[in-house]
């Protein structure tokens, strides 16, 4: 498969302002390659992923590293870290996976907070179990004030959109 000159649409648009070689040099100048993980030493998001800004666009540094090395990311695929270091841009540590694979890996590593570990939840696991047990015996508008949540959250628990792990454990 022939590699295109540009790593993807974002790089192609950025290259209109900068030469491809300038863009590549600017990118790799922001990487510390002294260890096994090549760490992004420039701007990072609050969640730890590196950001590369070029041509008015902000790109994820690990995705740029992947595209510069292997070509554009196919539609429906995501760039995942085999090392699990969010600001690593070593192409040898990057691989493609689906969104479902990426999420499943994050859950397995404890990176996705669900249930009581999610600080946005207003109820406890025991309360979610009680709400689930009341499906068909009470209405969301009756339960919502009792648990201090909206009717939508009650319905989402019953549908399995929230507190899904409780339903799967039963």
Q: Report the distance separating Cα 114 and Cα 125, nearest Å.
A: 10
CATH number of this structure's domain 9-108, picked from the four choices 2.60.40, 1.10.357, 1.10.3470, 3.90.75: 3.90.75
**Strand, coil or helix: 166:** helix
Mean pLDDT of 74-93: 95
Strand extents, DSSP E, 36-113: 39-40, 51-54, 57-60, 78-81, 94-97
Q: Which residue has the tokens 């922001």?
A: 30
Would you list the domain boundaries of the chain? 9-108, 115-169
Average pLDDT of every residue of the chain: 86
Q: Which of 124, 126, 128, 125 is nearest to 143 (CA)?
A: 128
Q: Given the DSSP bridges, would you call strands 57-60 and 78-81 parallel, antiparallel or unpaired?
A: unpaired
pLDDT at 12: 53
The predicted-structure confidence for 24-81, as pLDDT tens digits, reads as follows 999 999 999 999 999 999 999 988 999 998 778 899 999 999 999 999 999 999 999 9
């Amino acid at each position: 498969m022939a590699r295109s000159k540009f790593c993807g649409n974002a790089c192609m648009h950025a290259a209109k302002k900068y030469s491809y070689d300038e863009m590549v040099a600017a990118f790799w100048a922001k990487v510390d390659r002294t260890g096994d993980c090549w760490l992004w030493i420039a701007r990072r998001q609050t969640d730890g992923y590196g950001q590369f800004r070029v041509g008015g666009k902000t790109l994820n540094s690990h995705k740029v590293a992947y595209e510069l090395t292997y070509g554009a990311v196919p539609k429906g695929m995501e760039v995942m870290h085999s090392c699990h270091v969010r600001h690593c841009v070593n192409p040898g540590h990057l691989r493609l996976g689906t969104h479902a694979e990426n999420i499943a890996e994050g859950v397995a590593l404890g990176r996705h907070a669900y249930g009581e570990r999610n600080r946005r939840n207003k109820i406890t696991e025991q309360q979610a179990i009680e709400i689930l047990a009341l499906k068909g015996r009470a209405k969301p508008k009756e339960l919502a004030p009792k648990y201090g949540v909206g009717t939508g959250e009650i319905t989402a628990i019953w549908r399995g959109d929230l507190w899904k792990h409780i339903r799967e454990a039963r």
